[in-house]
A and B are shown apart, each in its own frame.
Chain A
Amino acid sequence: MLKVTGLETGYGRVQILRGLDMEVPQGRIVALLGGNGTGKSTMLRAVSGLIRVWNGQIEFNGERIDNKAPDQIVRRGLIQVTQGKDSYPSMTVEENLKVGAFTRSDKPGVARDLERVYDYFPVLKERRRQLAGTLSGGEVQMLVIGRGLMAAPKMMLLDEPSAALAPKVVLDIFANINRIARSGVTILVVEQNVRMALILASYAYIIRDGRILIEGDADDLMHDENVKMSFLGGTVADSSREYMS
């Protein structure tokens, strides 16, 4: 569904991605893993059209979308939820969700999806008249995922949905990501919480130095000695083990 080939991009003259290839088949959850500052968010920004693609191509549903305007890409059903937990703090929860539905004109559909989001994240329903700025970190993460859902996406790009959240909240959010996937939305999830991501996803890519270093089925990667050494042995995995026990 999403196919990235030879992607090169960066900021100003600084190149970050040096020929990145990856593919996300329809209906799957794929994870993009890697350390801090390795270019994961940069790759999502390029896919969403927020930064220019220098070289290579991006295909979505068989159509080239590289260097299209971000709003055009959204209208094709590819939605990104950024890592900053960027809600609109001075709007209410419900207004935030309505911004998500900006591209849609089917009112009954929008109303149905609003109920769906409230069903996934009941706390948002309780707080729907509250300003988003008053929510906790976990609630904001739910809000921005919900806001993405309001666009009726075919595919969602989720950038570090677990970052800076308590273990219980992470489990809740991951369970909902799974639910969203089962409802037919293809998902690419970027994570530093490697173990959790490998449990959620069926396939994973590991990025380093602007290229894909390792890729494979999530189960295989979980037991791969290299991956264990470089990603699962460190603090990330230790803390995630604590989370899950």
Chain B
Amino acid sequence: MDFDFTSLFAFILFGLTIGVVYGIVALGISLIYSGLDIVHFAHGEIYMFGAFFGLVFSEHMGVPYPLAILSAMVCTGLLGIVIERVFYRRLTRAGGGYTVAGMGMIICGFGMSVVLQNIAYLSWGADAEPFPVDLGEPFQFGDISLPKSYGLTAVIALLLMAVLHFFLKKTKIGLAVRAVAANKDIAFLMGINVPLMISLIFGLACALAAAAGVLIGPMQSVQVEMGYLMLMKAFAAAVVGGFGSLPGAIVGGLLVGIFENLGAAYISPNHKDIYAFLLLILVLMVRPSGLFGVEVRVKA
């Protein structure tokens, strides 16, 4: 392939738009990790549920696309809160507070992912469902035309990040969320309702994944197995950025997005999905705690 700057720019641009989506899923994984001390292996399925909810709202119920995103976020957030309350809460408690309860929590996450896949399969079938959203003519950047869905994706994902940032840094509840993430006992002793905050954190993380699902839906299609690849890439993004770090999750997402687009363009498009992991390995070789990981957190 001939090298020219326009196509390089295009690859980077496409990489960035998909990267912000990896970023918001990774953000959720990092939020859950720092808030609940669990690595949530069913987060890909939460993302898949979000995509289906969006599809149902937008296609079957005729809700306008932006509103469908919001509705899917709310529904998936509530679904997440129920899952956490009913299934995870006992396990995280059993570990003494909310520390990692050994392998139990990891297995539980995998189990939940299988259960959710099967529920989705029974509800919506195994076929890939197209998610057509007509947003009009593509944007033109010089010679590059970027479909509106890509532009919208980037804008909405960035907006969500900004809202999350404002929430965590400027509001009282956001401060409480950070306090709970950093030290639950002390947060309790400051009069914060820790169990409630944990529900909120989990719900928020699931809502973010849902937004990612509804945003990706129109670019690819919606199907039961879509969660797995997203989980892997979001994990790669979270680890590249430094597990548990929120800015790290976003930067990690962008890097994974760009890296895999460039890899597909200049090395081989047949193995698009391995580039995320290649990047992961490269970064971990240089900085084992990830780009923004200040320390390796040791969990009891």
Contacts and interface: CB of A to CB of B under 8 A. Distances in A.
Contacts of B179: 88, 91, 99, 102
Given A102-B172, A102-B175, A71 B188 contact: yes
Given A98-B175, A99-B176, A102-B175, A88 B183 contact: yes
Contacts of A100: 190
A131 B189 CA distance: 21
Interface in A90-107: 90-91, 95, 98-100, 102-103
Contacts, number: 63
A214 interface: no
A91 B177 CA distance: 12
A238 interface: no
Q: Which of B179, B183, B186, B193 has the most CB of A within 10 A?
A: B186
- The range of chain A's interface size is 20 to 34
Nearest to B169: A95
Contacts of B191: 70-71, 74-75, 102-103, 151
Nearest to A75: B191
Interface string A36-76: 00000000000011100000000000000000011100110
Contacts of B182: 88-91
Taking chain B's interface residues, is the majority helix, strand, or loop, or is none over half, making it mixed?
A: helix
Contacts of B63: none
A79 B189 contact: yes
Contacts of A70: 188-189, 191, 194
A206 to B, nearest CB: 25
25 contacts: A48-B189, A50-B188, A69-B188, A70-B188, A71-B188, A71-B191, A74-B188, A74-B190, A74-B191, A75-B191, A82-B185, A82-B186, A86-B185, A86-B186, A88-B178, A88-B186, A91-B175, A91-B178, A98-B172, A99-B179, A99-B192, A100-B190, A102-B172, A147-B190, A151-B190
Interface of A: 48-50, 69-71, 74-75, 79-80, 82, 86, 88-91, 95, 98-100, 102-103, 147, 151
What are the 8 tightest A-B residue pairs by CB atom distance, in nearest-first order?
A: A74-B191, A103-B191, A70-B188, A71-B191, A99-B179, A71-B193, A86-B186, A88-B182
